[in-house]
Structure 1
Amino acid sequence: MNPTAISKHIAKAALSLKTAMVPLLITGLIFLLAGAYTIRNIIYFVGPGEAGIHWSLFKGGTEIDRVYGEGIRLFPPWDRFAIYNVRIQEVASELHVLTKTGLQVHLSLSIRYRPQYNMLGVLHQQVGPDYVNTVVIPEIEAVLREIIGTMAAEEIYTTGRTVIIEAINQAIEQISQRFIDVDDVLIRRITLPDSVAEAIRDKIREKHQIETKEFSIQKAKKEADRKRAEAAGIRDHLDTIASAIPKDQILKWYGIKVTEEIATSNNAKVIIIGSGENGLPIILNADAQTTANPTPQAATVQDPLSSPQRALPESGAMDRGNSGALNDNAQEPATQTTMKPAGQNTQAPTIVDAPGK
């Protein structure tokens, strides 16, 4: 075969292929998109916590008597398949309500709900997938607006809570008739006008102050009763002691008790025992009529020849010699000094002139 003819045939084939390439690519892309769309409307994946409802174009519409569970589901591309979340869900809602007096109250709600599994087909047919904004929130808000509109602002914090809860329960029962289970309605926050909130706080503060004063009065009464009982016990104790111990010995008995307690204590101490028969500490010596350290007084000398007494010096200048005699310019007669023992009526010592021998 002529090589030139072969080259011409190859060139014609390449030109034909190049001319047909664009339509082939366009056709392939169309088939690819159509296949993807078909697969998407044929194959459905039902995940965990989900359920599906089938709507058929040629078989009577919604299948209300059958709920499709988890897994892969295949349907014709002209049918529809709706997937619902059947777990407990939560939705938040902000609500502004007017009270009976015209004050605006802000409520922050949290609603927990879930669709009824067995009635999911009826819910899909009558309400649709957006049932929470169609039924749940409007029903709760309508009940709260109605009940709070009949109350004063301060009643919401006090006696109105029970009424609000009862109204919410009634709303939950009404919602359940629409094939929806409301688990709970939580009022997360109630914001009153500033003037009303301040008045409520002042009222509560005054109430607690009154309760504090009442408690202080009760405490004072209890303390008075305790002191009266204690005084009665001390009186009975003293009466018992007085009946067993002579009156002139009670102070000595107490002195012995105090001395024992001082002696057995763990503190550092110095005990000064008095003189006399009792030997009690100085502060408890009932017989002593002078202090432990009496103030020195001037001694007096009595002359038998003359009645007046003359004062001697306060110091011990009289002590000369071992005999204790007093010589005044070596002319005066000797005198005798008499001292009384401690613990008795200790007064300034009296010096009496003795006659010379």
Structure 2
Amino acid sequence: MSTQRPIDLRSDTVTRPSPAMRRAMAEAEVGDDVYGEDPTVDLLERRTAGLLGKEAALFVPSGTMANQIAVGLHAGPGDELICDARAHVYVWEAGGIARHWGVQARTINPHGGLIGLDHLRDKIQPDNEHYVRTRLVCLENTHNRAGGRVHPYDSVREVADWARSNGLAMHLDGARLMNAVVASGVPASEWASHFDTVSICFSKGLGAPVGSAIAGSAELMRKAHRLRKALGGGMRQGGIVAAGALFALEHHVDRLADDHANARLIADAIERAPGLSLESGPVETNLVWIAVDPGAGTAREVADRLREAGVLVSALGPQTLRAVTHLDVSRGQCERAAGAIVEVAEGMAARA
């Protein structure tokens, strides 16, 4: 067992605030945000709206809540949304679209996980009392379960044009939108311009301890305030955590390129490791999804061996692992992790 502190690649949510971020949080000017009196929350919301080119934004505790508010804004009982079958809003939000809003999902299984116009042309339900009403299209960028891939910008624009021509709303789950911005060079406001609502998470690659936001028109955000309250998301002196999100926006965006480079380093090791392969093709951002050949063991067995070697990864399926780079793992640590991955894989192959 390694005596060094484990190199934690389970998620980019495991980061801890730096001393500078902690100081910003401790010194934040605060008030009661439910009364609209927290100046730091107000500043974060204005800056987020500006970043995304929207009229207004709303600070919420989590990305799940941001996405759920978006669904509630655009759809209700007897309505349907369209999303990828592996989208976060469908798979990892505890059935919220049905629990909270009575909304049904029509899921698409595109090759590679990224929905394009060709997947959607015939998916609107007929205007007939026998069918649910198609109301909303949800895209995820970057797409977690599609290997952290970035949607092609032109494809997003085509989907948005099609949706608007058919009277459908568009929501972007932009939990890792800034990763897409850094990887593509397309500004956040350009991505967001094709959507009625956009969520963004501050506690993933950006490294804040808490918080997400949803942005859209001023009218939609007024309605979003009511839905946030109904979901229990009204925070009081929220400026303490909003200050961490502000610090992240100001200091942790450009450095996402380092995470992407480190993820490619891990990916190179996977391609050298017997019994392991990249599940979703070339790595584009900070997520590395790994397929474990059944002959090499199970994902849990590989994860356990890596833990013994001082590297933490997530087993997210019988034969699926995920490694995520972030600001709390250095280049040197990723180099050590890459070496451990190859060594563990070779050892398991030798014993097979």
Q: Under a length normalisation based on structure 2, what TM-score does the superposition of the two structures give?
A: 0.16
Q: Which has the larger radius of gyration?
A: 1
Q: Under a length normalisation based on structure 1, what TM-score does the superposition of the two structures give?
A: 0.16
Higher relative contact order (CA 8 A, sep 6+): 2
